[in-house]
Each structure stands twice: as structure tokens, then as C-alpha cells.
């Protein structure tokens, strides 16, 4: 198997917001491209990896994908990678895993129901604020969220 590495420099294309990075082998010969798109959401720049040339991703597809994302952002439909997920959704997945992998999963479920059920529909920043107040954790005070 060849030792491949990705050149970190983004190379622009003729289409706005579409870039690629080159994948080279040990002889510095370009063997593949990784396509990226860049867009702005909530006043911050976002970057998304679309895929590799060898997997069938082409420049026109990336352009169409970026246009689709921009249209969804304009209409309020797009939810990026950093979407707000509730604590309860994460906990449900954890309990599904714990039922098969932990003997004390019932204790975890009871602890959630007794102590943390008020945060069922809260997002991450609400937890950090709670822990900052209740536990007075200095690491959380220096967090960028506050």
C-alpha cells in the first residue's frame, strides 16, 4: 500500500467557494484530489469536505452542493454539522449502548431521571452554565461560550 499524504494548501477552482487539496504519494506525484466547499453561516465561515475525485466527486457536483446549501441557509432549512442536539437525545443513545455493554445501566437511567431530567431538552451551553454555577468549575469559566 502506498504511503499517501494530503497537501494542506487549498487550491481554488474557477467556481466560487469550491476548493481542492491534492493527495500525493511518496514520490510527490498527485494521485487524487479532495474537494471542499466554503460558505458562510451565522456570520462565520464554514468549510465542508465533499469527497474524493477517485470516489466520483466532480467539480460540478461540488458547485451544485454549495448552491444547495446556500439556498437552504437562506430559507432557514440548513442545519450544519454543529447542530444543537439535546441532552436527552444523547442520553437515549447512551442507554441503548449501555444496556448491552454495562451491568449498571439501570443506575445510570435512574440517575438521569432523578437528577438530570430538567435538562432533557437543553442544549450544550445550558449544561455548561449549570455546571459553572453549581459546581464552580474554573475550566468552564474560561470557555468561549461564556
In a domain, residue 107? The reply is: yes
Say which residues have a Cβ less than 8 Å from residue 94's Cβ, sequence separation at least 6. Answer: 108
In a domain, residue 127? The reply is: yes
Q: Are residues 15 and 47 in the same domain?
A: yes
In 3D, which of 95, 74, 87 has the Cα closest to residue 130?
87
Output the pLDDT for position 6.
Answer: 86
Q: Are residues 59 and 92 in the same domain?
A: no
Domain count, the chain: 2
Domain end residue (candidates: 20, 42, 74): 74
Output the pLDDT for position 93.
Answer: 81
Looking at every residue in the chain, the average pLDDT score rounds to: 78
Lookup result for grid cell 454555577: 133
Domain end residue (candidates: 74, 103, 120): 74
In a domain, residue 81? The reply is: no
In 3D, which of 25, 19, 16 has the Cα closest to residue 6?
25
Q: How many angstroms separate the CA atoms of 45 and 39, rounded?
A: 6
Q: How many angstroms separate the CA atoms of 127 and 29, rounded?
A: 49
Q: pTM of the prediction?
A: 0.54
In a domain, residue 80? The reply is: no
Domain end residue (candidates: 19, 40, 74): 74
CA distances from 81 to 41, 85, 126 (A): 11, 10, 19
Q: How many angstroms separate the CA atoms of 21 and 13, rounded?
A: 11
In a domain, residue 79? The reply is: no
CATH of the domain at 21: 3.30.160
C-alpha cell belonging to residue 66: 454549495
**99-120: pLDDT as tens digits:** 888 898 898 888 888 877 776 7
In a domain, residue 39? The reply is: yes
For the segment 78-93, the average pLDDT, to the nearest whole number, is 67
Domain of residue 133, residue span: 87-141
Amino acid at each position: 500500500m502506498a504511503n499517501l499524504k494530503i497537501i494542506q494548501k487549498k487550491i481554488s477552482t474557477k467556481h466560487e467557494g469550491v476548493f481542492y487539496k491534492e493527495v500525493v504519494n511518496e514520490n510527490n506525484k498527485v494521485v487524487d484530489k479532495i474537494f471542499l466547499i466554503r460558505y458562510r453561516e451565522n456570520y462565520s465561515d464554514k468549510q465542508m469536505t465533499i469527497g474524493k475525485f477517485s470516489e466520483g466527486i466532480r467539480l460540478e457536483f461540488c458547485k451544485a452542493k454549495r448552491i444547495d446549501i446556500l439556498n437552504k441557509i437562506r430559507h432557514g432549512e440548513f442545519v450544519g454539522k454543529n447542530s444543537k442536539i439535546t441532552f436527552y437525545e444523547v442520553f437515549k443513545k447512551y442507554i441503548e449502548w449501555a444496556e448491552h455493554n454495562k451491568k449498571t445501566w439501570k443506575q445510570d437511567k435512574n440517575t438521569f431521571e432523578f437528577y438530570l431530567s430538567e435538562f432533557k431538552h437543553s442544549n450544550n451551553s445550558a449544561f455548561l452554565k449549570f455546571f459553572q454555577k453549581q459546581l464552580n468549575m474554573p475550566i468552564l469559566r474560561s470557555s468561549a461560550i461564556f
